[in-house]
Amino acid sequence: MASGIKDKVVILGMGCSKFGERWDMSPADLMSEAFEEGLADAGIEKGQIQMAWFGAGIDASNVGSSAMPLSIALRLPNIPVTKVENMCATGTEAFRGAVYAVASGACDIALALGVEKLKDVGYGGLPQRTRGVENDMYWPNLSAPGAFAQLASGYRAKYGIEKADLKRAMAHISVKSHANGAKNPKAHLQREITEEQAINAPYIAEPIGLYDCCGVSDGAACAIVCTPEIARALGKADLVSVKALQLAASNGEEAGFSKWDGSYLQTTRVAAQNAYNEAGISKPREEIDMTEVHDCFSITELVTMEDLQLSDDGQAVWDVLNGDFDADGRIPCQIDGGLKCFGHPIGASGMRMIYENYLQFHGRAGERQLKNPRLALNHNLGGFPHQNICSISIIGRYE
Amino acid sequence: MSGITAYGAYIPRTRLLKSAIADANDWFDASLRGLAKGERSVCNWDEDTITMAVEAGQDCLSALGTADVNSLYLASTTLPFLDRQNSVVASQALNLGSSLRTMDVAASQRAATSALISMLEAGASARGNALLLASEHRRSKCGSRAEMLWGDGAAAIAVGNEDVIAEYLGSETYVTDFVDHYRGEDSTIDYEWEERWIRDEGYMKSVPLAVSRLLEKTGVKASEIAHFVLASDQARTPAAVAKAIGIAADAVADNHIGGIGVTGVAHPVLLLTSVLEKAKAGDLILLTGFGQGTDAVLLRATDAIAGKRPKTGFGGALARRREDTNYNKFLSFNNLVDREVGKRGELDKQSYLAAMYRRKDLLTGFIGGKCRSCGTVQIPKEKYCVNPECGALDSQDDHPMAKAKGRVMTWTADRLTFDWNPPAYFGLVEFEGGGRLMMDFTEVEPGGMDTGVEVSLHFRIRQFDNQRGFRKYFWKATPVQQ
């Protein structure tokens, strides 16, 4: 019987680049910016890293294939490096690889690094790209907002929510994240917005407007992990450990079989329950102190609250409007500004979320510091609501 | 008795007001204003000769029932492929099986009537039905007379020996190399000669010659003709020809120049469907096709004609219209301007012929699978059953779904993704009887889409691979009520 990952691995150090339109930076520049911070934070030498996992989501318009972009960028000393890609769950996937390697005893210290350079493609939004020979033949040519906007139609139809109420809740989510992001010097967008701005913005994909979308930016983030014993031996106190790492991938049932109604994410529900089990969490609403969820679009964040069992089904719209997930609410969500303000450099996002958890547990979150958080949940969603991959990581104080 | 057994029609929904064309162009040519009454049909960006032919064919098959189709002829001068049999694509989209005769008939405005004569002549010895699809998506120069007078459309005629609705009495063809217009191999647009010469030396001489021979052969008097079909973009010519022959003025079929425009090769057949729709038992119908000579076909409506109407028919297709005044959109859809499509439109849409062939049942026929073990319907058909309670391997039988009704579960109108006619509507469709698929929607009116909306399925162009001169087809969903 597997015992899970809980408390087997701790984070020795983390780094995160400034996210934004980093016109003057190459992917390698961004990688070194995150890595140098992480290395200094861990207090080790580069040569002490024995294995690395590299996450980058969009090959064709980013760093290219294989693990060499990381190995070469950081001049790693011929250690094993693995490139991973799982769409928007890529960052967390890299983290999972490094953590599992340490937990297995295959190495003492491992690096996970995610990067994406989206602003090199020449336009806003994620790059238009091929989805493979088979899918390209019959899939709609959907954009990410177009895919996720459909959650709103499914959700409204299921719960009979008025269009205006849902739009207002979506706006509240964006206003909240912008307010949080304004307090984060590493966020791409650092201005507050108003509900009116969000509601009246032009449609990108109905009913998603401009302010319902996260930004497109460049960024990198990394984590250096080891066992609690090694961390202590290296002189570390107040350890932050991994409580759960779960991944759930669609099997095509949502899009192909009549059960799913388009109002929720099947994979998030499965991954969340598995993560709670792995972390030993029985009452998530009481035990989880903060969340970073995949707010690629405001409607995604809204339904995710139900998928994570943090709102009752059909109630997230009201809980959001009630401020439950605001910085001073019952479970702050996107306290760092989220994808909404950081943008979504695909390979870096999962790691950026964990970075915020890490800062909060160490009391290093500055103006946005929460009062003594113990447990944080991070959620990433790759693909589309009807066909996707979900990763969940739960990080907490090692106690 | 052999003759026509069924018919069907298709006219694109969009009707561009001719005043919009004149507004844009009469600064250069004031004479266009005189042609600016009414409207013309316009293909959507995702329609072409093949997709319209499939629509007309479906309409015809709606009346033909499950009768065997032994051959399919596709007549057009605007076939999208010069070397790839277009009629095969249409036959597979209509799921007519793999053992029928297919043929493209082209290169003349009487391609359809000549094909029809061949089918009728062969009809007596053939079993089952032969299907003629006539379809045309004509391109014309910006600001031309043709642009004002032509339209896009398709029609279908089935020919057989049983349940005949219009009996075949005979045909004649007069052939002469009269070049009123032509299109060389390197051109996409016709070159035309003087209108008055075409009338006097062409229509007025050629049509009476063929018709008089036919009337003589069949022993029918011109005055007995109840319906006379002569397709022409010259508004007064059909009546003048009828008068010269001795056909009653009220027998001349309306050319619908002001409502559809002249649809080239499809037009004689499209007008024939309009006539069949209103013909009474015993009516004599004279169909002509003009182009380097004249085809003339004589038919007599039978008692069966009233009881065999297609689902949509000419009247239904004409009535299903959406008014448009956007001349620039028309130019863009017809590739007559060099459109800025944005960076998202630059993505290379490679054609993977081997993979497309492997998936042709899905892509062209819209065939899904039905599980033998649990009855679950799924599209695409895959190795394992999608029902999580089942999951059987290799358990799915072919399950054609092109006629299935669907309901929209989730949807959006996407303004970010590249589309020739933004916003791009798409969403998850659930089919009656099972199966669901994330699909593109087409022909959606603003406000016409919502969860629960009923949709029908249509064979359309999905993508152009302009680098390799290929186009890809797939099925799209359209709201039924709008």
pLDDT one-digit tens code per residue, B302-357: 999 999 999 999 999 999 999 999 999 999 999 999 999 998 888 888 899 999 99
Which residue of chain B is at minimal alpha-carbon distance from A156?
A: B451
Burial of A40-68, coded b for 16+ CB within 10 Å and e otherwise, reads ebbebeeebbbbbbbbbbbeebbbeeebe
Decide if A156 touches B, using CB distance below 8 A. yes
Quick one: pLDDT band at residue B124, thresholds 50, 70, 90? low
Contact B424 A140 (CB under 8 A): yes
* CB-based contact, B387 to chain A, within 8 Å: yes
Contacts of A252 in chain B (CB under 8 A): 382, 386
CB pairs under 8 A between A and B: 141
When CB atoms are compared, the residue of A142, A208, A253 closest to B426 is A142
Of the partner residues A137, A202, A255, the one whose CB lies closest to the CB of residue B428? A255
Measure the CA angle with vertex A10, ends A9 and A13; round to 5°.
140
Give the torsion through C-alpha atoms of B240, B242, B245, B246, to 10 deg: -110
What sign does the CA torsion over A305, A306, A310, A315 have? positive
d(CA A176, CA A383): 25
Whether A133 contacts chain B with CB within 8 A: yes
Alpha-carbon distance A199 to nearest alpha carbon in chain B (angstroms): 17
CA distance A16 to chain B (A): 30
Contacts of A375 (CB under 8 A, 6+ apart): A243, A279, A281, A287, A288, A289, A394, A395, A396, A397
Does the active-site annotation cover A333? no
Residues in chain A: 399
Q: Are A140 and B472 in contact (CB < 8 Å)?
A: no
Angle among Cα A258, A262, A267 to the nearest 5 degrees reads 90
Region B186-198: mean pLDDT is: 96
Residue B66 has pLDDT above 80, yes or no: no
- Considering only CB atoms, which chain A residues are within 8 Å of B369? none
Mean pLDDT of B224-231: 98
Closest by Cβ to B362, choosing from A138, A202, A205: A138
Amino acid at residue number B427: G
Whether chain B has a CB inside 8 Å of the CB on A310: the answer is no
* Contact call for B438 and A139, based on CB within 8 A: yes
Q: Which residue of A has its CA nearest to B388?
A: A253
Give pLDDT, residue A374: 97
Side-chain-facing half-sphere of B323: CA atoms under 13 Å: 7
If you average pLDDT over every residue of chain B, what do you get? 96
- Which one of A129, A131, A150, A163 would you mutate to disrupt binding with B, by most B Cβ within 10 Å of its Cβ? A150
The CA-CA-CA angle for residues B333, B339, B344, to 5°, reads: 100
| Residue A138 near chain B (CB below 8 Å) | yes
Cβ contact B417–A142 (<8 Å):
yes
Q: Return the pLDDT at A165.
A: 98
Task: Decide: helix, strand or coil at residue B20.
Answer: helix
Cα–Cα distance, A285 to B228 (Å, whole number): 79
Which pair of tokens denotes residue B73? Answer: 């002829």
Out of B419, B424, B427, the one facing A150 most closely (by C-beta) is B427
B409: nearest CB among A136, A262, A384: A262
Q: Does B352 touch chain A (CB under 8 A)?
A: yes
* A3 interfaces chain B, CB cutoff of 8 Å: no
User: Helix/strand/coil (H, E, C) string of chain A?
Assistant: CCCCCCCCCEEEEEEECCCECCCCCCHHHHHHHHHHHHHHHHCCCHHHCCEEEEECCCCCCCCCCCCHHHHHHCCCCCCCEEEECECECHHHHHHHHHHHHHHHCCCCCEEEEEEEEHHHCCCCCCCCCCCCHHHHHHCCCCCHHHHHHHHHHHHHHHHCCCHHHHHHHHHHHHHHHHHHHCCCCCCCCCCCCCHHHHHHCCEEECCEEHHHECCCCEEEEEEEEECHHHHHHCCCCCCEEEEEEEEEECCCHHHHCCCCCCCCCHHHHHHHHHHHHHHCCCCHHHHCCEEECCCCEHHHHHHHHHHCCCCCCCCHHHHHHCCCCCCCCCCCECCCCHHHHHCCCHHHHHHHHHHHHHHHHCCCCHHHCCCCCCEEEEEEEEEECCEEEEEEEEEEECC
**B22 SS3 class:** helix
For residues B314 and B8, the answer to whether their CB atoms sit within 8 Å is no
Strand partners, A292: A378
- State yes or no: is A88 an active-site residue: yes
Q: Note whether B436 contacts A257, CB cutoff 8 Å.
A: yes
**Interface membership of B424 toward A (CB under 8 Å):** yes
Across the range B378-402, mean pLDDT stands at 97
Searching chain A, which residue's CA lies closest to the CA of residue B376? A257
**Is residue A296 less than 8 Å (CB to CB) from chain B?**
no
pLDDT of residue A125: 83
Q: Do B343 and A154 touch (CB under 8 A)?
A: no
- What pLDDT is attached to residue A210? 97
What does the pLDDT profile of chain A (399 residues) look like in tens digits? Answer: 899 999 999 999 999 999 999 999 999 999 999 999 999 999 999 999 999 999 999 876 689 899 999 999 999 999 999 999 999 999 999 999 999 999 999 999 999 999 999 998 888 888 877 888 899 999 998 999 999 999 999 999 999 999 999 999 999 999 999 999 999 999 999 999 999 999 999 999 999 999 999 989 999 999 999 999 999 999 999 999 999 999 999 999 999 998 899 999 999 999 999 999 999 999 999 999 999 999 999 999 999 999 999 999 999 999 999 999 999 999 999 999 999 999 999 999 999 999 999 999 999 999 999 999 999 999 999 999 999 999 999 999 998
Rg (CA), chain B: 23
Q: How far is A391 from chain B (nearest CA, A)?
A: 22
Sign of the CA dihedral with B335 first, then B341, B344, and B348 last: positive
Judge whether A132 is closer than 8 Å to chain B, CB to CB: no
ipTM here: 0.93
Catalytic position from the list A88, A222, A333, A341:
A88
B41 vs B36: CA distance, rounded Å: 14
Find the angle CA(B172)-CA(B174)-CA(B175) to the nearest 5 degrees. Answer: 140
The token duo for B352 is 């993977």
- Cβ burial, residue B150 (10 Å; 0-12/13-18/19+): buried
At residue A108's C-alpha, the angle toward residues A103 and A110, to 5°, is 80
Please tell me whether the peptide bond between B380 and the residue prior to it is cis, using omega within 30 degrees of 0: yes
CB contact under 8 A, B410 and A122: no
Average pLDDT on B22-28 reads 97
What gap in Å lies between CA B339 and CA A52, rounded to an integer?
A: 47
The amino acid present at A234, given as its one-letter code, is: L
B342, B386, B412 member nearest A252 (Cβ): B386
Task: Among B414, B434, B463, select the one facing A143 at the smallest CB separation.
Answer: B414
pLDDT tens-place string over residues B155-187: 999 999 999 999 999 999 999 999 999 999 999
The active-site residue out of A344, A379, A386, A390 is: A344
Angstroms from B341 CA to nearest CA on chain A:
13
Closest CA of chain B from A354, distance in Å: 30
**B342 chain-A contacts, CB cut-off 8 A:** 123
Pairing of strands A51-55, A110-117: parallel
Predicted local confidence at residue B126, as pLDDT: 67
Q: How far apart are CA A214 and CA A187, in angstroms?
A: 12
The structure's pTM equals 0.95
Q: Which residue has the tokens 């995949």?
A: A294
| B323 in reach of chain A (CB within 8 A) | no
Q: How far is B117 from chain A (nearest CA, A)?
A: 39
